[in-house]
Structure 1
Amino acid sequence: MANRVRQRSSGVFSATISKIVTLSIAIGTAAILIASMVLIGFQKEITKKITTFAGDFEIAKYSGLVAPYTPTSVQVGQVSRLMADLPSAIEKVIPFTQMLMLIHTSVGVEGISCKGIDPIAVHTALEEYLVVGRLPHLTKATYQNELCLSHHLAQKLSIALGDSVVVHTVHPTVRYRKLKIVGIYCTYLSDIDENLAFCDMRLIQRLNNWSAETVNGYTIFLKDYVTPTKALRDTILPLIDYDLRLIPTQRKYITFYDWLAIIQKNTTIFVLFILLVAGCTMVATLIVQLMERSYMVAILKALGAYDGQVYAILLYNSLRTLCIGMLYGNILGLGLSFLQAHYRCITLEPALYYMRYVPIYTHWKAILFPNLLIFTTLFIALYFSLKWLRQKKIIETLQEG
């Protein structure tokens, strides 16, 4: 019966309304899909950058001093229980050394935080952000006087790949080293690019007269499906020595996470607004169909049809319009998203958005959940609007008219 009604409605006013509603649902579905994939894309890309350079947690010793990386040492025995007790959550625990240095060039002097990377660990994730060059050689028998710094610092100090610069330490003693620039990286994250440089971990150990087992701290990298929550932090704390502190990366780079929270809030408001408009449009279409089919309603009632049967016909046609609109919306949204993901047509200002293009996260979850949200919300709107019409006894009114 619903199919016959729909076929006979091709030339009436409600058919035009139905096409407009289908178009609006398609555009709304595409907008919600793109918004959700862009939001998750921003979250994934920025979180990936931060955790690649700083991990998910950092273990360091309480120094009691103002300097963030004073030459206090951490031994491997103080954190050795982590991997044994939490193998399902922790991917790896990597030692690091870090020292504040001054770098001298013909342009001027700049302070940097030089991080020594472990020669034993694999650092392929860091290599993804190299603009030119490479990381310092870590496979040599002894440390190398090499440095990898950011594109921001290289431009600020007029440094090019292959140049040699003089650096000197401030604490505990003043020491000078001539280092060769072997790599330049770029993340567009100001807190990283403006301060951080990389060298061989053994170089900083030599400057501090430390043994090979003594480091400034350890970086904890979690597995991809594990979230660095407060509960996990409370689980890790008893597994390390009491004189060590566990620093969440989210706390160190809270500015970026606050920015992501603002974007998420704005996206949520945008999605709710689209759903509200689409829901009102669907309900209005349902009422128009009911009013236009008053003669049909009267005949069906005269033939003995129940109110529920009449409402089921209207609900079926409305759901069909909803599904067709969502189908077209998915085709439009996914098509535009795949174009952006592969060709990066829409660019951004890195100073404002921390990347050069709009990121797209084309995972099945980012596609399925928005569709479920749209369908569920609009179905509920249709159901309760029909229930309201039933309470107002609209069918009996139309029948009498």
Structure 2
Amino acid sequence: MNFELFIAKRIISNKTYKSSVSAPIIKIGIAAIAIGVVVMLIAIATGLGLQQKIRDKVVAFNGHIEITNYDTNASDESQVPITTNQDFYPEFNSVEGIRHIQGVATKFAVIRTETDFEGVIVKGVGADYNWNYFHDFLIEGRLPDFTKGRNEEILISKYLVNRLGFKVGDKFQTLFGENLNKMPRIINFEIVGIYNSGFQELDEKFCIADLRHVQRLNKWDKDQVGSFEVFIEDFSELETIYTEVYKEIPSLLNATPINQKYYTVFEWIKIFDNNTYGIIAIMIIVAGINMITALLVLILERTTMIGILKALGSSNWSIRKVFLYNASYLIGLGLLWGNIIGLGLLFAQKYLKLFPLNPDTYYVTEAPVYLSLDYIILLNLGTFLACLLMLLIPSIIISKISPVKAIRFD
């Protein structure tokens, strides 16, 4: 039997241990670890969740990679068409990790009502459009159906609906300008669905309509689009896949990854990583200091026992292991309670939406939660090892205890 582990178990199971002078300090140490784990779990889960939600919202409107003409057009409007007769369309089989590719086109327009008007970008999409993201954004009505003949169905944002006083089923005039010498062309769209992504920068300008309207207005052929949107399987592989896509497309076309097109947004969400790392470091240091205090009290309280073990021939390292086993139990107890409380709060937020956020600031209506067994295991292992390593230094005090003085009886 492991001698040190046996002694540690006897100390832990001893009833006087729970009512000793060190008991309150030990409880504080356990509580510090538990609170630290709760804070770290919440910081990681909400930080990753917020990053993922914001990223998904941007990707929904643009794809992970956008393929356009190689020109100086920096606007959101498609100007020079691209033929769909490409080797990479409708399946981008030459690059691994690509889930879907779709052809789209955009055109500036003005929505006009009897009392108001609003400038928008009408995004034309076809039968190949991936509606998965907008299924989650849809709050009223249904998604348009562009798989049959050309129609006037349109998906509009809640932001525009509130500004213009629309509802599902309403029809409105949309003016498309060609040049200063011609009258604008008018299309009467019918609202079949209302979406709300929570990303006002995009919601305030994008409406989703039939691609064939944009082709007709621009006098394009049926096989011409404004750009291609590429969706990938794993966002962490974006840079690698983007490089491969850029190499595969013709020299007259350009590829732009989403983190370059919306550079400011992606730089902003990177700040969450720094905040999370800072919180983790602070919580581990606080928990470690509390455990150091608890260990020192335990050692001082067991000075006589340490002296007897040394007199019986135990080495300093052997005795240190006894207290490290004891501390490991306390750290494990703190981790257990921290995970129970932390994961409980996270599951409650995930399914009950307890804590709302201001969408104007955070682009989401409630604090999003991302749960993964990988980071939970790594967090617990990292916290356990970090605290245990911090306890190696104060345990050196055991080597300073003299058996003669420790066993002295008055």
Q: TM-score range by the shorter chain?
A: over 0.9
Q: Which amino acid in 2 is paired with 1:117?
A: V
**Contact 2:102/2:128 (CA < 8 Å) preserved in 1?**
no
Other-structure match for 2:241: 232
What TM-score comes out, normalization by structure 2 length?
0.90
Q: CA 1:298–1:379 in structure 2 vs 1: closer, same or farther (change >3 Å)? A: same
Q: Look up the SS of the partner of 1:84 in the other structure.
A: coil
Q: CA 1:369–1:241 in structure 2 vs 1: closer, same or farther (change >3 Å)? A: same
Other-structure match for 1:16: 24
Deviations 1:135-179 (A, max 9, x none): 222132x21122211111111122222222111222366322111
Of 199, 206, 222 in structure 2, the residue corresponding to residue 196 of structure 1 is: 206
Deviations 1:288-330 (A, max 9, x none): 1112211111111111111111101110100010001111111
Other-structure match for 2:311: 302
- CA shift for structure 1 position 380: 1.7
TM alignment of 1:78-117, pairs within 5 A: 78=86, 80=88, 83-86=92-95, 88-117=96-125
Question: Is 1:147 the equivalent of 2:154?
Answer: yes
Question: Is 1:43 the equivalent of 2:51?
Answer: yes
Q: Which amino acid in 2 is paired with 1:222?
A: I
Q: Look up the SS of the partner of 1:83 in the other structure.
A: coil
Question: Is 1:61 the equivalent of 2:75?
Answer: no
Other-structure match for 2:291: 282
Q: CA 1:398–1:385 in structure 2 vs 1: closer, same or farther (change >3 Å)? A: farther
Question: Is 1:208 the equivalent of 2:215?
Answer: no
What TM-score comes out, normalization by structure 1 length?
0.92
**Contact 1:301/1:399 (CA < 8 Å) preserved in 2?**
no
Deviations 1:169-208 (A, max 9, x none): 2236632211112221111112211111100111111111
Q: Distance in 2 between matches of 1:52 and 1:344?
A: 23
Q: CA 1:180–1:10 in structure 2 vs 1: closer, same or farther (change >3 Å)? A: closer
Q: CA 1:378–1:107 in structure 2 vs 1: closer, same or farther (change >3 Å)? A: farther
Question: Is 1:266 the equivalent of 2:272?
Answer: no
Q: Distance in 2 between matches of 1:339 and 1:5?
A: 38
- Equivalent pairs counted in the alignment come to 395
Q: Distance in 2 between matches of 1:274 and 1:345?
A: 24
- CA shift for structure 1 position 93: 0.8
Of 136, 141, 145 in structure 1, the residue corresponding to residue 144 of structure 2 is: 136
Measured on the aligned residues, the alpha-carbon RMSD in Å equals 2.1
Q: Look up the SS of the partner of 1:147 in the other structure.
A: strand
**Contact 2:307/2:403 (CA < 8 Å) preserved in 1?**
no
Aligned residues: percent identity? 28
Question: Is 1:317 the equivalent of 2:326?
Answer: yes
Other-structure match for 2:8: 2
Deviations 1:222-246 (A, max 9, x none): 01x3425433322211111112111
Q: Distance in 2 between matches of 1:149 and 1:50?
A: 16
Q: Distance in 2 between matches of 1:202 and 1:302?
A: 92
Q: Distance in 1 between matches of 2:48 and 2:78?
A: 37
Q: Distance in 2 between matches of 1:73 and 1:290?
A: 77
Question: Is 1:256 the equivalent of 2:262?
Answer: no
Q: Which amino acid in 1 is paired with 2:240?
A: A
Question: Is 1:156 the equivalent of 2:166?
Answer: no
Q: Look up the SS of the partner of 1:184 in the other structure.
A: strand
**Contact 2:111/2:173 (CA < 8 Å) preserved in 1?**
yes
Q: Distance in 2 between matches of 1:14 and 1:67?
A: 68
**Contact 1:145/1:179 (CA < 8 Å) preserved in 2?**
yes
Other-structure match for 1:243: 252
**Contact 1:131/1:186 (CA < 8 Å) preserved in 2?**
yes
Other-structure match for 1:351: 360
Q: Distance in 1 between matches of 2:254 and 2:385?
A: 46
Q: Distance in 2 between matches of 1:177 and 1:373?
A: 60
Other-structure match for 1:32: 40
Other-structure match for 2:4: none
Q: CA 1:143–1:315 in structure 2 vs 1: closer, same or farther (change >3 Å)? A: same
Q: Distance in 2 between matches of 1:154 and 1:339?
A: 32
Question: Is 1:182 the equivalent of 2:192?
Answer: yes
Q: CA 1:252–1:64 in structure 2 vs 1: closer, same or farther (change >3 Å)? A: closer
Where in structure 2 are there 5+ consecutive unaligned residues? Answer: 1-6
**Contact 1:70/1:171 (CA < 8 Å) preserved in 2?**
no
Q: CA 1:66–1:321 in structure 2 vs 1: closer, same or farther (change >3 Å)? A: closer
Q: Which amino acid in 2 is paired with 1:162?
A: G
Higher deviation after alignment, 359-368 or 295-304 = 359-368
**Contact 1:53/1:126 (CA < 8 Å) preserved in 2?**
no
Q: Distance in 2 between matches of 1:121 and 1:189?
A: 20
Q: Distance in 2 between matches of 1:47 and 1:248?
A: 12
Q: CA 1:76–1:228 in structure 2 vs 1: closer, same or farther (change >3 Å)? A: farther
Q: Look up the SS of the partner of 1:357 in the other structure.
A: coil
